Every structure is written in structure tokens, then in C-alpha cells.
């Protein structure tokens, strides 16, 4: 896990663990994480792939503005993982650029 342990100004105490899965792998996040921050802390930077050239996509803005971090969460496509809080038991999947089978 790559988390900041010492900081001259901010305090990041050991917060309670939140368990979740990514592509079936069991991972741990911390209370207060968004999905993307928890994935990043676990070394997962590729969140999806571009539609035509299948290039890897990570997050860019981290404030819900750029759509670079959309993933499928608990079966729901196109969740902005950089602003969605991580919740115990969440199942996170990478998705095709459009969010997979569109259901409308």
C-alpha cells in the first residue's frame, strides 16, 4: 500500500479498513477513501481502456469533471470512481469505454 505515513502538517491516522474487490481480487481501502483513491493506494492506476485504440486510462481530474475514471461498481456502469466513496463489500470492475451493454 502506498499511503503517506508521515507529514509535517496533515495527520493521516490509521483509519478503519474497508474491504472491497477489484476484478475479483480482494483489496483493502481506508475509511474516507473514494474508489479511485483506494485503487491507487493499491497500485492500480489503469481504470479503463479507450474505445478505439484500447489505450489505458487512469484518472485525471479527481473531482468528477473529466470522465477518465468511469468504472462498473456493483453492476452499475459509468460510476465516477474519483468522487464515489468506497463502501464495504463493493465490487469494482473495469469496463469498456462506453460502460458495456447499454441497458436503455
Binding site for ligand FES (CB under 6 A): 59-62, 64-69, 80, 82
Secondary structure letter of residue 78 according to DSSP: E
Contacts of residue 22, defined as CB under 8 A and 6 or more positions apart, other chains included, come to: 39, 42, 44, 92, 93
Minimum Å gap between C-beta 77 and other proteins is: 11
Binding site for other proteins (CB under 8 A): 2-10, 12, 30, 32-34, 37, 40-41, 45-47, 50, 55-65, 76, 79-80, 82-85
Contacts of residue 85, defined as CB under 8 A and 6 or more positions apart, other chains included, come to: 33, 34, 35
Minimum Å gap between C-beta 35 and ligand FES is: 10
* Count of C-beta atoms within a 10 Å radius of residue 59: 22
87 contact choice in other proteins, ligand FES, none (CB below 5 to 8 Å, kind-dependent): none
C-alpha cell at 35: 474508489
Minimum Å gap between C-beta 83 and other proteins is: 7
55 contact choice in ligand FES, other proteins, none (CB below 5 to 8 Å, kind-dependent): other proteins
Amino acid at each position: 500500500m502506498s499511503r503517506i505515513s508521515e507529514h509535517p502538517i496533515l495527520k493521516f491516522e490509521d483509519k478503519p479498513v474497508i474491504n472491497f474487490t477489484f476484478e475479483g481480487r480482494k483489496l483493502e481501502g481506508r475509511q474516507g477513501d473514494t474508489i479511485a483513491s483506494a485503487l491507487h493506494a493499491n497500485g492500480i492506476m489503469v481504470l479503463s481502456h479507450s474505445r478505439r485504440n484500447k489505450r489505458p486510462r487512469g484518472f485525471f481530474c479527481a473531482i468528477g469533471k473529466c470522465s477518465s475514471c468511469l468504472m462498473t461498481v456493483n453492476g452499475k456502469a459509468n460510476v465516477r470512481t474519483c468522487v464515489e466513496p468506497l463502501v464495504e463489500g463493493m465490487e469494482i470492475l473495469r469496463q469498456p469505454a462506453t460502460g458495456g451493454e447499454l441497458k436503455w
